[in-house]
């Protein structure tokens, strides 16, 4: 049975359920919420747990789990909203046009190799056809554990969606480029590479935001 057929069957069963049909008596085998799990304090083990996670709907639309990439001891951590289709297809960050933009931002402005920073997403699986009602809470505990283990000096948030979820407010335009705080860690929101692809006129502002990030990192040394 192909994935397409499986998804069609699941959609059909979901529609029946919405009309009140039941397929079995309800039962409780405990919560599937990741927040009830004891997540490991080891990066390799955490990656393994995340890679084998099927606790939410996103697991049905992914081809690969994009846990993260880079140096887990880095002082700087980039967080985007979700993996792109290209990243999901190739099981790699920094691919496609948006990935190329981010690579240049890191290498040409920060003068760092992309392997020397750490990047991840709010959710570790791509959504189905770019869903607008994405539940970022589904992978939040994986993300918080990553932040805990990396303990970065600064978090760079890529785009309004990631900013709004982490900071719990909708003032991205007002706070873009400013040094804020997230769990006592310095955080700077900037435009996402995907946004810059659609709006290249904002690249200059992002360039100066990256210069501020570079200065922040230099002052740490």
Query: Torsion-angle region of residue 50: left (phi > 0), alpha (psi -120 to 50) or beta?
Result: alpha
Q: Which domains does the chain have, with CATH numbers?
A: 35-220 (3.40.470.10)
d(C-alpha 152, C-alpha 185), whole Å: 7
pLDDT band, very low/low/confident/very high, at 54 (cuts 50, 70, 90): confident
Strand segments, DSSP code E, in 4-99 are 69-70, 76-80
- Average confidence score pLDDT of the chain: 86
β-partners of residue 187 are 155, 180
Q: Which residues pair with 186 in a beta bridge?
A: 154, 181
Residue 221's pLDDT is 76
Q: Which residue has the higher pLDDT, 127 or 65?
A: 65
C-alpha 200/C-alpha 191 separation (Å) is 11
| pLDDT (0 to 100) of residue 111 | 96
- Closest by CA position to 187, among listed 202, 169, 205: 169
Residue scoring higher pLDDT (131 or 31):
131
Bigger pLDDT: 21 or 26? 21
Q: Please, which residues have CB within 8 angstroms of residue 100's CB and are 6 or more apart in sequence?
A: 94
Report if pTM > 0.85: no
Question: Which pLDDT score, from 0 to 100, does residue 134 have?
Answer: 77
In the block, residue with structure tokens 């069957």: 9
Burial of 138 (0-12, 13-18, 19+ CB in 10 A): buried
Higher pLDDT, 138 or 192: 192
């Amino acid at each position: 049975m192909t994935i397409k057929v499986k998804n069609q069957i699941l959609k059909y069963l979901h529609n029946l359920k919405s009309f009140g049909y039941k397929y079995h008596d309800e039962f409780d085998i405990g919560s599937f919420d990741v927040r009830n799990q004891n997540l490991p304090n080891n990066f390799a083990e955490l990656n393994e747990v995340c890679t084998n996670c099927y606790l939410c709907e996103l697991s049905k639309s992914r081809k690969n789990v994009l846990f993260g990439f880079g140096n887990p001891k880095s002082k700087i951590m980039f967080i985007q909203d979700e993996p792109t289709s290209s990243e999901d297809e190739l099981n790699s960050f920094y691919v496609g046009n948006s990935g190329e933009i981010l690579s240049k931002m890191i290498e040409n402005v920060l003068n760092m190799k992309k392997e020397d920073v750490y990047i991840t997403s709010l959710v570790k699986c791509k959504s189905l056809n770019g869903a607008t009602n994405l539940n970022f809470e589904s992978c939040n505990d994986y993300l918080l554990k990553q932040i805990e283990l990396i303990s970065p000096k600064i978090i760079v948030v890529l785009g309004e969606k990631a900013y709004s979820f982490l900071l719990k407010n909708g003032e991205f335009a007002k706070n873009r480029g400013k040094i804020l705080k997230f769990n006592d860690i310095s955080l700077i929101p900037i435009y996402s590479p995907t946004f810059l692809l659609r709006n290249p006129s904002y690249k200059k502002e992002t360039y100066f935001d990256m210069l501020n990030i570079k200065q922040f990192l230099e002052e740490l040394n």
